[in-house]
Amino acid sequence: MSRMYFDHAATTPMAPEVIDAVTQVMKEVFGNPSSIHQFGRQAHEYLENARQTIASSLQVKPHEIIFNSGGTEGDNTAIIETALARQNFGKHLITTAIEHPAVLNTMKYLETLGFEVTYLPVDQKGNLAVADFQKALREDTILVSIMYVNNETGNILPIPEIGAILKHHPAYFHADAVQAYGLLEINPHEIGIDLLSVSAHKFNGPKGVGFLFKTDAIQLPPFLHGGEQEEKRRAGTENLAGIVGMSQAVSLLKATDKNSKRAEFQQFQTVLLKQLEAAGIPFEINGDVEQATHHVLNLRFPGVRNDLLLMKLDLQGIAISTGSACTAGTVDPSHVLEAMYGKGNPTIKESVRISFGSDNTLAEVEELAAKLIAILTKK
């Protein structure tokens, strides 16, 4: 039985070039980047070359890249340290109801410390209204944290528009770009983003490594305390093999490739949906295909339990999901779909997430469609 993977929003397989880069560093570059002898200097050179590569991809200064363990650490660092450092200027924070748990649970934690959080709503297509953001923005707002691309619908949120508004407001602007970085060209300085979280395993890099962009225009204390790594901004010996692997994954990302990937994913969606339509399968799309990266397709099949559908596909070697990987395996419903449709809506338990990656082929998509049709038409 062949195996097919359609859960790239959860994680992606490492590219062969990334595996080679990681392996080479693990074999040959074992020095501590903070050591001053030749082994340390060699490791430090690899570290700074990786920092330069990643900074260039965002058109920012190398100094503005802080290596860490991934998106969750980046989100926690940006949000908690901003809140604690700026609470004398206000205690109001703004986010959305559809953020990743790394943001939402961090906001809930800050509420226990006396901060006030506004959770912006979205419409039934999962879109955020800029007007709602403008209404929520106050003089005592010290931080706005909004994801660039939603991990369950693939919707692109109005980050440039919000950044333009915040250029005239003292609040810091943080964007969780975990789902966006590998598919969209992002220039934080141009958009007005102060802090940006990225995780390598979402774009064919290693797990357990990522980075936080922090503009030099703002000052924040370190989240982790200890040694003087990352210019005293993030203590702990750097995961050099992971960082070099992430840098290699970044090197594989080119603007033209990002555009072609999104076009290919859109083709995958079109083929899959046309086959379902031709077979007379009733379905609904959760999200806005006109405002999306197309790597995520969230579908509702009325009357079909999503956990059973996932299980039947898994038995045939096909991997999809019912939502965020950080909540998968639990009985909790999708908070994203709840925000879109309201709690208790049947859509929530009848929807699945299909997410494409660079290793998928059109033939695989056609086979996925055939397997879906066979399962959904079986009496």
Provide the annotated active-site residues: 326
What Rg value do the Cα atoms of the chain yield, rounded? Answer: 21
* DSSP conformation letters of 185-207: ---HHHHT-SEEEEEGGGTT--T
The DSSP annotation for 321-357 comes to BSS-TTTTTSSPPPHHHHHHH-TT-GGGGSEEEEE--
Cα 331 to Cα 183: distance, rounded to the nearest angstrom: 31
* H-only helix segments in the chain: 16-28, 38-58, 71-86, 101-112, 130-136, 159-166, 188-191, 229-232, 240-251, 255-278, 306-315, 335-341, 362-377
Other CB atoms within 10 A of residue 353 CB: 29
Distances (CA, A) of 72 to 10, 61, 177: 13, 23, 11
